[in-house]
Amino acid sequence: MLIKNLGRQVPYEPTYQAMAAFTEARQADTPDELWVVEHPPVFTQGLAGKADHVLFNPPGPNHIPVVQTNRGGQVTYHGPGQVVVYPLIDLKRQGIYVKEYVFRLEQAIIKTLETFGVTGHRVGGAPGIYVKLEDPFGHSALTEPRHPQDPFRGLGKVAALGIKVSRHCTYHGVALNVAMDLSPYDRINPCGYAGMRTIDLATLGVQVSWDEVAAELAQRLESYLTP
């Protein structure tokens, strides 16, 4: 698998167009790739995205572009201090289905967080990885079932996930928050959930560089996505 570090502050739209073109052009023997990148501030809407989940986004110098995409899910934010990885994977060649692919993506994030001492959790029906805000380093499991009116009570979302599969091949991917300005999340209902708390490693007290997290996440994803 080829790992490409595209760099930091790379515009979102050309990257989106490039991975879609790569996927459309690939053949049965095209090697899989992982693209590692950081984007300038941007809101991206998935296919199920609703315009009213962008709560406010005033014009002017602090305006953040909103880009419509063909990935699953709803609105999310990308910005400086966040590691984004786009796995361009042939699932048919791997012999796995989408549900297994999502599980492997999440497992790679959980293991990356574990490297830095943080315990990540899944929440049923809500793709991504979450941490317990009161005890992000503890190892106790989440209490299930979650509160029916507030399934994210006591949790912060540290990593988001949104994928597209075309002819058994994937693009889009995962975003892990390292050390960000989290205020843009206040402008949206993250992933369509009103009031969901979003967190990054720095706020949890983990002082680690973007490069360290990018390298670790790429290595974990390569491990989980290599036949």
Distance of alpha carbon 89 from alpha carbon 133, whole angstroms: 33
- Selected catalytic residue, list 191, 196, 199, 201: 191
* Contacts for 65 with CB less than 8 Å, ≥ 6 apart: 12, 41, 42, 43
DSSP secondary structure letter of residue 28: T
Residue 142, classed as helix, strand or coil, is coil
d(CA 78, CA 218): 18
Structure-block tokens of residue 83:
């590691």
Question: Is the separation of the CB atoms in 138 and 132 below 8 Å?
Answer: yes
Q: Which among 31, 112, 36, 19 is positioned nearest to 71, based on CA atoms?
A: 19
191 has catalytic annotation: yes
The SS3 assignment for 69 reads coil
Query: How many whole angstroms separate alpha carbon 177 and alpha carbon 82?
Result: 5
Helical packing angle, 210-225 and 98-115, nearest 10°: 140
CA-based nearest residue to 69, from 173, 183, 158: 173
> What residues act catalytically?
191
